[in-house]
């Protein structure tokens, strides 16, 4: 019997669509079959994937797409994996102490990962002090301003230094597949990527 790992993906107004939808697709498409299968709906995933937001459930993304989060901070289940995506909406959240405190409270979960400018929120929470990290190419200066001792890594899709950070937008898919590889091995990660028609 598979014990599902709970994967919570934080969403907020002006979140970048692929930043959260890419990892959502990866984790929800993962199956533990060693043999590649196309009809994954017939087998169970090792993950329970869901979105959560701070307070309101209706979220408007950076592209204007409206989505509903399944949980809020108050109702969110205990997480095994937390994904913090980016988007222009992160700039407002830098001043939102409720969000920063939530990240700090959850800093010791098994896997904490950011996509794109989600790294700015990790930095604001003090989690990237004297650590290597990456983010969207357009946000390195802001990352250094927030966390001067962070060592920015350029031209890498993702970095692990206590926490996972990834570069912009589509790199969240690569990061998520890498996490799958770390948890369940290369074959499972490759099968997930193949199902998605994604090169990994």
pLDDT, one tens digit per residue, over 100-122 is 999 999 999 999 999 999 999 99
Q: Reply yes or no on whether the pLDDT at 1 is more than 80.
A: no
Taking residues 28-43, report their average pLDDT.
90
Q: Which two tokens stand for residue 34?
A: 């060693």
Question: Distance (Å, rounded) from C-alpha 194 to C-alpha 74?
Answer: 37
pLDDT, one tens digit per residue, over 147-183 is 999 999 999 999 999 999 999 989 999 999 999 999 9
Q: Which fold has domain 5-195?
A: Rossmann fold (3.40.50)
Taking residues 3-20, report their average pLDDT.
96
CB burial of residue 19 (10 Å; 0-12, 13-18, 19+): buried
What's the confidence (pLDDT) of residue 171? 96
Helix axes of 171-184 and 17-29: crossing angle, nearest 10 degrees: 30
Question: Tokens 């990660």 appear where?
Answer: 189
What's the confidence (pLDDT) of residue 156? 94
C-alpha neighbours within 13 Å on the C-beta side of residue 186: 0
Question: Distance (Å, rounded) from C-alpha 8 to C-alpha 3?
Answer: 16
Question: Distance (Å, rounded) from C-alpha 72 to C-alpha 22?
Answer: 21
What's the confidence (pLDDT) of residue 79? 97
What's the confidence (pLDDT) of residue 157? 96
In sequence order, which residues have a C-beta less than 8 Å from that of residue 127 and are 6 or more positions away? 103, 104, 107, 112, 162, 163
pLDDT, one tens digit per residue, over 184-196 is 999 999 999 999 9
What's the confidence (pLDDT) of residue 53? 97
Question: Distance (Å, rounded) from C-alpha 119 to C-alpha 143?
Answer: 8
Taking residues 45-60, report their average pLDDT.
96
pTM: 0.95
């Amino acid at each position: 019997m598979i014990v599902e790992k709970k994967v919570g993906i934080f969403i907020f107004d002006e979140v970048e669509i692929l930043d959260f939808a890419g990892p959502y697709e990866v984790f929800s498409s993962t199956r533990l079959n060693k043999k590649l299968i196309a009809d994954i709906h017939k087998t169970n995933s090792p993950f329970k994937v869901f979105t959560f937001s701070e307070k309101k459930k209706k979220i408007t993304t950076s592209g204007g797409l409206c989505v509903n989060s399944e949980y809020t901070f108050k109702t969110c289940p205990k997480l095994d994996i937390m994904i913090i995506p980016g988007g222009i909406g992160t700039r407002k959240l830098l001043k939102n102490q409720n969000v920063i405190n939530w990240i700090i409270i959850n800093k010791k979960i098994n896997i904490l990962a950011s996509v794109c400018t989600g790294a700015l929120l990790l930095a604001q929470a003090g989690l990237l002090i004297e650590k290597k990290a990456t983010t969207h190419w357009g946000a390195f200066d802001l990352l250094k301003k927030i966390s001067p001792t962070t060592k920015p890594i350029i031209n890498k899709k993702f970095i692990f230094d206590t926490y996972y950070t990834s570069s912009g937008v589509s790199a969240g898919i690569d990061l998520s597949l890498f996490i799958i590889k770390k948890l369940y091995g290369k074959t499972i990660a490759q099968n997930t990527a193949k199902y998605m028609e994604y090169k990994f």
